Amino acid sequence: MTEHVFRETTAEPSTRSVPLSHLSLELGHLYMEDIEGGPERLRQHFERVRPWVDAARADAAVGIRGRSPRISTCFLIDDYFTRFSSPAELVPLVLGEAARAGLVIDYLARESGCAVADKVPLAESIAQRLVESPPPGTYGLRPPVSETGWLANGERVQRSRTSRAMSAAAEWRPPRETAARRHSIYLDVELWDHDKDGRRTWSCPFLAAVWQLARLGLLRNEGEPVLSPRPWSSGTFPREWDDMPPLLQLNTAAAPFSAYRTCSVLPARFLPVEHAVRVVLDQTDVDSGALRQITERSRHEGASVPDAVADRVAYVFYRGL
């Protein structure tokens, strides 16, 4: 006898898949100090990036059965912490200097889009998916990340709840990394603070973690992809940042924006930020439907990805300009 199980279709929300490349290759971030350096600063950056781009492309071809890897490039501009210049002036400059170095930027993103994109509060939604990993032997003395805005990769030094005026000074105890290999590398990351009106200002590491999740194809809102690229065919960019979509596809022939793995080529000053990104990714409960889709598709293509999301992310740090 065959048993039939009936379920309401609305009880199992579907997760829409996204096209995937083998590698999302980031050609850099752009902040105020880079613009203040003028075109020469951008030129030097892309000249430093170019050799590592070639190496990343060669590495992406390893392990995919002799096929040509699908690789897309992207570039991120900070319009969240500071609004400088305008898209009409800045974007052509970035694209021109990249072209001088023999590089093509397929996708251009605004950092503010990692906070809110198409009216979807991405940063807030990821903050709600954080699952702290309490170190063994801790007793909940530290308030949760939802209250503090701080996320650690281990146990910080904690004081006793009570103190006695005549008691001897407590013995100092060092912080401890949860997954330490004999010695700890402890990190405590500030994810947000509040402005004078009490609104959250997201930190650079937290927005960079959202950026990595977007590039890995793991962002969803009620099953629908978010921060999706929009084609840009007009030759003129707007005067105001808010008039430009959060993610532009500049190259019509580009491979998909999201990918099984990411690699970012950045100046060495970004190393502390990206260490913090890994702490965030290691404690984020990403959309299970999207994660399952990508894992299955990668295996089918013979390009299996690590189980840990943070391990799908790679970097090249070059010495400072």
Q: Three-state DSSP class for 177?
A: strand
Q: Three-state DSSP class for 131?
A: coil
Q: What are phi and psi of 6, to 5 degrees?
A: -105, 135
CB within 8 A of 321, min separation 6: which ones? Answer: 37, 41, 44, 45, 48, 267
Contact 125, 213 (CB under 8 A): no
First CA to last CA across the chain, in angstroms? 73
Contact 41, 97 (CB under 8 A): no
Tokens 């793995």 -> residue: 261
pLDDT at 43: 93
Amino acid at 165: A
pLDDT at 159: 57
Choice among 52-61, 85-94, 125-134, 163-172 with the minimum mean pLDDT: 163-172
Structure tokens at 243: 């008039």
- As a whole number, mean pLDDT of residues 187-201 equals 91
CB within 8 A of 260, min separation 6: which ones? Answer: 20, 21, 22, 23, 216, 294, 298, 303, 305, 312
% pLDDT > 70, the chain: 89
pLDDT at 23: 97
pLDDT at 158: 61
Residue with the larger pLDDT of the pair 65 and 253: 253
Q: Which residues of 65-88 are buried (b: 16+ CB within 10 A; e: fewer)?
A: eeeebbbbbbbbbbbbeeebbbbe
* pLDDT greater than 50 at residue 256: yes
pLDDT at 8: 43
* pLDDT greater than 70 at residue 210: yes
- Which one, of 53, 140, 69, 56, lies nearest residue 102 by Cα? 53
**Strand extents, DSSP E, the chain:** 21-30, 71-77, 107-110, 150-152, 154-155, 176-177, 188-190, 192-194, 200-202, 220-221, 224-225, 230-231, 247-249, 259-267, 313-318
- As a whole number, mean pLDDT of residues 113-140 equals 85
Distance CA 110, CA 115 (A): 10
Choice among 94-98, 158-162, 309-313 with the minimum mean pLDDT: 158-162
pLDDT at 9: 42
CA atoms within 13 A on the CB side of 251: 18
**Strand extents, DSSP E, 195-296:** 200-202, 220-221, 224-225, 230-231, 247-249, 259-267
Structure tokens at 169: 């000074």
* pLDDT greater than 60 at residue 137: no
Residue with the larger pLDDT of the pair 35 and 150: 150
For 21-42, the pLDDT digits (tens) are 999 999 999 888 887 778 899 9
Q: What is the DSSP string of 24-61?
A: EEEEEEE-HHHHHTHHHHHHHHHHHHHHHHHHHHHHHT
Domain ranges of the chain: 17-113+208-268+289-318
Binned at pLDDT 50, 70 and 90, residue 155 comes out as confident
* pLDDT greater than 50 at residue 1: no
pLDDT at 247: 98
For 54-94, the pLDDT digits (tens) are 999 999 988 787 789 999 999 999 999 988 889 999 999 99
CB atoms within 10 A of CB 47: 15
Whole-structure pTM value: 0.90
* pLDDT greater than 90 at residue 261: yes
Mean pLDDT computed over every residue of the chain: 88
Instruction: Report the chain's C-alpha Rg in angstroms.
Output: 22
Distance CA 97, CA 222 (A): 39
Q: Give how far Cα 171 sits from Cα of 168, 243, 303, Å.
A: 9, 57, 51
